[in-house]
């Protein structure tokens, strides 16, 4: 029997939580396709998340893979994520956990602070039930990655180059 990947489960739970919060606060959240304000970074992700991106990419038919490789040749703004093209995520279906939580109200318990996109919740802080405890999520991700012995970090820039070479 195949054991489910705990990182994929965590990603799916985060996506479900985002959808719940978004549906509840749709009039307060600006997150939508074409908004890429949170994608202005060069990040590293756990190897297990990089593997999910690889698996997703390899599951595409050759025409789609070639199309993505062509798309990735477009030079974007250097401050943006390398997978962002024309304000759209080219790996959206397989995006890492951090990308699935952007736009949510993120609670940092160690600092007792709440952070969220300045475009969201302009009328005031959202309900506490809509907060995502960022430290808890990061701890769960780290434990999940270690449990399957894929806790090394991979920069997205390196992952993109690897996918282009496949």
d(CA 77, CA 58): 26
pLDDT at position 76, please?
Answer: 72
Q: What is the pTM of this model?
A: 0.84
Give the Å distances, CA to CA, from 154 to 84, 88, 138, 150: 17, 21, 16, 10
d(CA 12, CA 95): 11
pLDDT per residue as tens, the chain (166 positions) = 466 778 889 999 999 999 999 999 999 999 887 788 888 777 899 998 999 999 999 999 999 999 999 999 887 777 889 999 988 999 999 999 999 999 999 999 999 999 999 899 999 899 999 999 999 999 999 998 888 777 789 999 999 999 999 8
C-beta of residue 131 within 8 angstroms of C-beta of residue 105: yes
d(CA 160, CA 28): 34
Crossing angle of helices 156-165/47-59, nearest 10°?
30
């Amino acid at each position: 029997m195949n054991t489910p990947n705990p990182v994929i489960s965590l990603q799916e739970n985060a996506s479900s939580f985002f959808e719940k919060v978004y549906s509840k606060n749709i009039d307060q959240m600006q997150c939508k396709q074409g908004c890429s304000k949170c994608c202005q970074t060069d990040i590293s992700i756990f190897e297990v998340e990089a593997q999910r991106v690889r698996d997703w990419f390899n599951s595409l038919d050759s025409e789609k893979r070639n199309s993505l490789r062509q798309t990735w040749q477009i030079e974007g703004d250097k401050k943006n994520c390398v997978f962002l093209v024309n304000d759209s995520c080219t790996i959206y279906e397989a995006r890492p956990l951090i990308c699935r939580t952007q736009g949510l109200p993120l609670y940092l318990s160690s600092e007792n602070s709440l952070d969220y996109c300045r475009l969201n919740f302009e009328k005031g802080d959202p309900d506490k039930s809509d907060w995502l405890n960022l430290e808890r999520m990061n701890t769960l991700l780290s434990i999940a990655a270690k449990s399957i012995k894929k806790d090394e970090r991979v920069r997205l820039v390196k992952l993109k180059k690897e996918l282009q070479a496949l």
